[in-house]
Structure 1
Amino acid sequence: MSDALLAIEPGLAGLAPSVGDHLRGLRGPLHERILATVRAAMAAQGRSLTGGQGQGLALGVQTAVDTFVDAVADPGRELTGTREVFHALGRTEYREGHRVDALRTVLTLGARDIWAFLVEHATAPAAPGGPATAPAGTDPGPAPADLYVIAGALFGYVDALAGAAAEGFLAEQRDTAQDWATTRRRLVTLLVQPDPPTGAALHAAADAARWPLPATVAVFSVDGTDAEQVARSIGAGALAAVVGDAIRVVLPDPGTPGRLDRARQALVGRRAALGPTVRRQRARLSYRLSRRALALHQLGALGPDPVVSCDDHLLTLLTAWEPGLAGHLAGTVLAPLAGLRPTTRRALAETLYGWLRRQGQVVTVAEDLHTHPQTVRYRMRQLRGLFGPALDDPDARLLLTLALRQHPTGEPDRSGDG
């Protein structure tokens, strides 16, 4: 907004001082006229001037009228204070749930009525061949030429006030959105932090976020940073915030019929991992599993589907939980194969893995490997010579199964990522 009315309408500099004096003399009736107009405009919007915002708007209208009248008389004076008043009114408009153009409508109607009022109190038109005259006993108002200058100043002034109000409205909208994002992120962080919060702290955070605490939750980890958009697309009270390097979505009561399906549908086109449904107090478990699953998914370890469920990949999560651990496990339990030629090691590893999975059913293993049962028996004799009693120990067999599942050729990955 311009700092002075003169910047809006330079023609004000040419007005006679009597024009400003005339407008100042009309200040009282002008207040009453414009307040009546504003009251009617607000009533049409289902509002009144009796509430907090109504009283603030009434004061703002009075301030706007006073500033305009004084600025016509002194067009170089600053309008900053009035601009700040309407900036604040715009913020209040947003807080009270009104539309961004509601205040502009009131201002436009008020400006039209000010103009009509000034015209009514203007100098009467001149008779043919004679000077302009005013009604008997009245103060001669602005001449028509002066009115055109005042009109330009008036409507430019009202546009400037409406602009200040719109800026305030948008500023409050932006600040509120930031506050909500902070509030929601604080609640998500509380739900998934290592140390469970006290009941009072959690309930206070949930109340601040206007989020009814559910009995159960499931946590999605989703690629991206547009948490608010993801939460809106999922709906159903989903709570989302960026935590770490991804979006974490807390879905309340995921057992509600159709809720998980709708959430998956909303995530089409995104890479995401769904943690298990747990009691609210164990939300961190769902969060940790989904976080690790998303990291593995990004490495291509969980298959081609964009949205995966942790419950469908528990064994992969277990064996790959700590980077490097699976490689260390394989390097330890598959050590008897380390000194063999690559082709021999591969053949024995495939046979041992098949034998473990098929619980020693030689014929079935042979069918799986497309080889003769005698070949399987021969290889198993070699393996018993290498592994000895470990092949009959349940715990050792479990470790061998896990190691070979990650490294079916028998040669551990030495990259350190397991």
Structure 2
Amino acid sequence: MDEALSGVNDFRLSEDIVAPLRQRLPDVAVQTIAAITATVPAYAEAFAGELGAKIERAVRAALGAFLHLVSRSAPDPGAPLGPAIEAAYALGRGEARSGRSLDALLAAYRVGARVAWRELAAISVATGQPAHTIARFAELVFAYIDELSAASVAGHADELASSGRARRRQLELLAQALATGEPADVVIAAAERAEWAPPQSLTAVLVPGHAVRPVADLLDPRTLEVAEAAPDLPETSVLLVPDAHGPSRAHLLRVLAGRGAVVGPARPWLRTRESVTRAIRVDRLGAGGTGPAAVDTEEHLLALVVTADPPALADLRERALAPLAEERDATAAKLVETLRSWLLHQGRREDVAAELFVHPQTVRYRMSRLRELYGDRLKDPQWLLLLTVALAVPSGE
């Protein structure tokens, strides 16, 4: 009980004074509900019908508890307050569950206190109570209403905190289901439990763990977070960004610039696993976002395809470079470098020389040696394809 209300121990109204107040409680409750309904728009519809009758009974009970508290018939002044406080606390939780704001609830208390006191004061004056008694009575009425409103505020806050934690957990489970590719019916059910409206697409974004919160604040509020991208990426999280496809992708890449992000492809939301897998694979290629721009996985499709089966790529390289097996390592490395550039530049010597920072004559010499080693295979379309694929990604990438 707060300090102001504790003063009730020194204040008592005789039963002959309380009796008319108690007799008029139904009328006071009706007046209070009518005023709240008219003054606080959020309650205009809520108090209609059966719910209105329940609220009216609750108001009557709260005022009755107060009258019991200040009457001489109450041996323990604190006894009737407990149930009233519990009811006010439950009211606050119920209001939070129904989606009404704390502002609306506190406004209802203010209106209710004003109207209840006006009616109770009128009754007190009519029974001939002295001014100092009515003034003290007013003080206790408002202290009592403050107690009830404080309990409701606590209930409202506790319910929001509790429901917020529950929803965050449901969103975490949904994100995990999407990232791991759970069946569609499982994912849809998880989205419904989390009260999450599915977008058209989701885009996986890998970010360093320390940057998750700053990055998430820049993105769509519906963005989901997967705490760990993969077992071998312990310090990396995945953000699942809604509807970042089409023109929106360019904006996403700009927003993520300089934040160490790897951006996967946009996929229909039930195929999010594909985007997550793509982003992780590009990160494992060593293309992680350490530069000023975010890493766009769409710029690394060739490397992804060529390195999809590392053992097969190693076998392909071995076959393609077999003619160089007898060359010294340093010489073979220069020849491989020249052959790769020659294939990419379609035999244009000047372009190869510019890329390798060597004299065109050096390119000519090296190509002569390569033709000696490969013979007609450098004219065979199948061999040229084999060499192009084998050397598409420099060794070590």
**Alignment partner for residue 102 of structure 1, among 95, 100, 104?**
104
**Alignment partner for residue 164 of structure 1, among 151, 167, 173?**
151
Residue in 1 aligned with 2:10?
A: 14
* Cα deviation digits, residues 247-282 of structure 1 (max 9, x gap): 422424834xx4334544555664433322344553
Give RMSD over aligned pairs.
4.3
Amino acid across the alignment from 1:289: R
Moved more, 21-30 or 100-109: 21-30
Instruction: Give the SS at the match of 2:295.
Output: strand
Following superposition, the deviation at residue 380 of structure 1 comes to: 4.3
Distance 1:181 1:28, change over 3 A: same
Distance 1:95 1:32, change over 3 A: same
Alignment map for 1:258-277 (pairs within 5 Å):
258-264=247-253, 267=256, 270-277=259-266
Residue in 2 aligned with 1:175?
A: 162
Q: Structure 1 length as normaliser, TM-score?
A: 0.71
Amino acid across the alignment from 1:401: L
Instruction: Give the SS at the match of 1:277.
Output: strand
* Cα deviation digits, residues 359-418 of structure 1 (max 9, x gap): 444454234334334422433466678889997745752464145x244xxxxxxxxxx6
CA distance in 2: counterparts of 1:382 and 1:270, whole angstroms? 46
Following superposition, the deviation at residue 212 of structure 1 comes to: 5.7
Amino acid across the alignment from 1:40: A
Distance 1:274 1:40, change over 3 A: same
Distance 1:66 1:226, change over 3 A: farther
Alignment map for 1:348-359 (pairs within 5 Å):
348-359=335-346
Amino acid across the alignment from 1:67: A
Q: Structure 2 length as normaliser, TM-score?
A: 0.74
Moved more, 34-43 or 222-231: 222-231
* Cα deviation digits, residues 276-327 of structure 1 (max 9, x gap): 234455332112112444566xx66456344332111223445677999999
CA distance in 1: counterparts of 2:376 and 2:15, whole angstroms? 109
Is the Cα contact below 8 Å between 1:276 and 1:311 reproduced in 2? yes
Alignment map for 1:211-230 (pairs within 5 Å):
217-223=202-208
Following superposition, the deviation at residue 163 of structure 1 comes to: 1.7
CA distance in 1: counterparts of 2:36 and 2:258, whole angstroms? 48
Higher relative helix content: 2
CA distance in 2: counterparts of 1:109 and 1:223, whole angstroms? 51
Moved more, 91-100 or 44-53: 44-53
Distance 1:117 1:225, change over 3 A: farther
Residue in 1 aligned with 2:239?
A: 248
CA distance in 1: counterparts of 2:376 and 2:170, whole angstroms? 59
Amino acid across the alignment from 2:67: V
Residue in 2 aligned with 1:397?
A: 387
1:315 maps onto 2:302 in alignment: yes
CA distance in 1: counterparts of 2:386 and 2:350, whole angstroms? 23
Residue in 2 aligned with 1:286?
A: 275
CA distance in 2: counterparts of 1:274 and 1:354, whole angstroms? 29
CA distance in 2: counterparts of 1:194 and 1:234, whole angstroms? 23
CA distance in 2: counterparts of 1:230 and 1:368, whole angstroms? 38
Amino acid across the alignment from 1:59: R
Residue in 2 aligned with 1:413?
A: none
Residue in 2 aligned with 1:129?
A: none
Amino acid across the alignment from 1:87: Y
Distance 1:95 1:10, change over 3 A: closer
Instruction: Give the SS at the match of 2:391.
Output: helix
Is the Cα contact below 8 Å between 1:227 and 1:242 reproduced in 2? no
Amino acid across the alignment from 2:149: A
Is the Cα contact below 8 Å between 2:40 and 2:108 reproduced in 1? no
Moved more, 72-81 or 264-273: 264-273
Distance 1:42 1:374, change over 3 A: same
Distance 1:166 1:353, change over 3 A: same
CA distance in 2: counterparts of 1:216 and 1:249, whole angstroms? 9
Is the Cα contact below 8 Å between 1:390 and 1:396 reproduced in 2? no
In the alignment, structure 1 segments of 5+ residues that lack a partner are 124-134, 408-417
Is the Cα contact below 8 Å between 1:12 and 1:72 reproduced in 2? yes
Is the Cα contact below 8 Å between 1:264 and 1:307 reproduced in 2? yes
Following superposition, the deviation at residue 180 of structure 1 comes to: 3.4
* Identity in percent: 28
Distance 1:164 1:348, change over 3 A: same
Residue in 2 aligned with 1:128?
A: none
Is the Cα contact below 8 Å between 2:207 and 2:260 reproduced in 1? yes
CA distance in 1: counterparts of 2:303 and 2:344, whole angstroms? 16
Following superposition, the deviation at residue 100 of structure 1 comes to: 1.0
Residue in 2 aligned with 1:70?
A: 68
Instruction: Give the SS at the match of 1:276.
Output: strand
